[in-house]
Amino acid sequence: MSKIKLSIDRLTPGLYIKLPCSWTAHPFLFGSFKIQDKEQVNVLQSLDFKHVLFYPEKSDCYPLPVNTDKAPEKSDAQKKIYLKALWAEKEQRVEEQQLYIHNLRKCENDFKQSLSAVRAINLKLENQATFALEDAKELITGTISKLNANDNAVLHLMEEGKEGDKYPCHIFHVAILALMLGKALALSEQELIHLGLGALFHDLGKNKIPNQIIYNNPNITTAEKNYLKMHVRYALDKISYIPNFPTPVTEIISQHHEYLDGSGYPKKLSGTQINQLTQIITIANEYDNLCNPMDKHPARSPYHALSYLYKNKNKQLNQEVLGLLVKELGIYPPGSIVQLSNGKIALVISVSRDNILQPNVLIFDPSIPKNNAPIISIGKLKLKIEKVILPTQLPENIKEYLNPRARINYYFEHTEHG
């Protein structure tokens, strides 16, 4: 993309420019932007530089001619008022971002603690299965309590976690998504507990399947595929030795690969033969497997994973629950790479159920250090998402800056009551 060094006396609204100074040395939110009005021109001409970089291809018009007669400018007092307002807005955005990052860090710590509890539960399943069930109930009950703390949950994109955390991340992520869907369906407290336990134990039988089968799928033989399907039976065998294991959770484990059209396994159940809790788990499980495949299937972006479920699984999955998943995650779920209406590239990092079309995004702006990258609610700046971009299509400098996650994990922000 071409760029031209342009003297500031030729600036006019409609030009897309980049400022030749650090982010802290000017009052604008971004270091590159399209000039909106004459007031911005006046502020730009009052700053301590004589030239900017002008991008013709991203601009709506041409610069003013050289040595043009300048229109009457606003008084110095008017300039100062506008400049002060710009600095105040920028400072407010910085404060909002600091609070956002503070809440995000709390959310990440809570997620990591919960993930540690999931690891411990899986270890106990080997020799202390009864205690594992009790610990799982405690974790799920606590998670439900946190989820119920806010009517308008804010769902955040989490860090990827360690390579060895694929399995615990998967089952806990399925639990989080399933509980959010269960809450949206107004399930009872006991149903939510069964739902969460079903998520934590649904893939329990895979620990008896050789890794070369689990991780090499889809490049496995028909016989190996049939062996992989045995993980359902292995899980049922394991829980049969756990006293007082809840029957609804057993049903989830036995049915989580069944489809409404009868094309699933192991019993080819269909329609109402599959209970409601299982139908919720199946959707959460399918979505996470698309975003975070354990095997050699290519990972889909969150946006494309939702699209795939709608286009290819509409006869197999509960349409009401699938619609609720979009309402919870948004059309552009956290983890999506998007291009905004101002041309900026951004990573969606959180979404609110009450405002799913206007998520919080982290914006790529090379003039701002990566650690201070602007995080904004696109609605506040009257921006829109124009399209979704695959991470593989990003230039290396943008990919390094935005750090799109190889694994997509979510957790919700909640208010602690003391």
Contact 231, 205 (CB under 8 A): yes
Mean pLDDT of 329-344: 92
Could you tell me which CATH class the domain 107-329 is placed in? mainly alpha
Whether 231 has a pLDDT exceeding 50, the answer reads: yes
CA 269 to chain centre: 33
Q: Which of 149-158, 194-203, 349-358 has the highest mean pLDDT?
A: 194-203
Contact 390, 301 (CB under 8 A): yes
Please choose, from the candidates 119, 95, 102, the residue with its C-alpha nearest in 3D space to the C-alpha of residue 169. 119
What local confidence, expressed as pLDDT, does residue 138 receive? 97
**What is the C-alpha to C-alpha distance for residues 256 and 291, in angstroms, rounded to an integer?**
18
Q: Are strands 32-34 and 16-18 parallel, antiparallel or unpaired?
A: antiparallel
**What is the C-alpha to C-alpha distance for residues 245 and 262, in angstroms, rounded to an integer?**
27
Residue-averaged pLDDT of the chain:
89
List Cα–Cα distances, 327 to 73, 313, 321, 356, in angstroms.
Answer: 49, 18, 10, 7
Mean pLDDT of 222-239: 94
The amino acid that residue 301 corresponds to is S
Query: DSSP secondary-structure letter at 79?
Result: H
What local confidence, expressed as pLDDT, does residue 25 receive? 85
Task: State percent of the chain over pLDDT 70.
Answer: 95
Residue with tokens 């405690």: 138
**If pLDDT is split at 50, 70 and 90, which confidence band does 68 have?**
low
Please choose, from the candidates 5, 11, 30, the residue with its C-alpha nearest in 3D space to the C-alpha of residue 367. 30
pTM for the whole structure:
0.85
What local confidence, expressed as pLDDT, does residue 149 receive? 84
- Least confident range of 2-11, 120-129, 296-305, 408-417: 408-417
Give the angle 413-289-265 at the CA atoms, nearest 5°. Answer: 125
Domain ranges in the chain with CATH number 1.10.3210.10: 107-329
Q: What does the CA dihedral 408, 414, 416, 417 come to, rounded to 10 degrees?
A: -150
**If pLDDT is split at 50, 70 and 90, which confidence band does 417 have?**
very low
- Least confident range of 19-23, 153-157, 251-255: 153-157
Contact 409, 177 (CB under 8 A): no
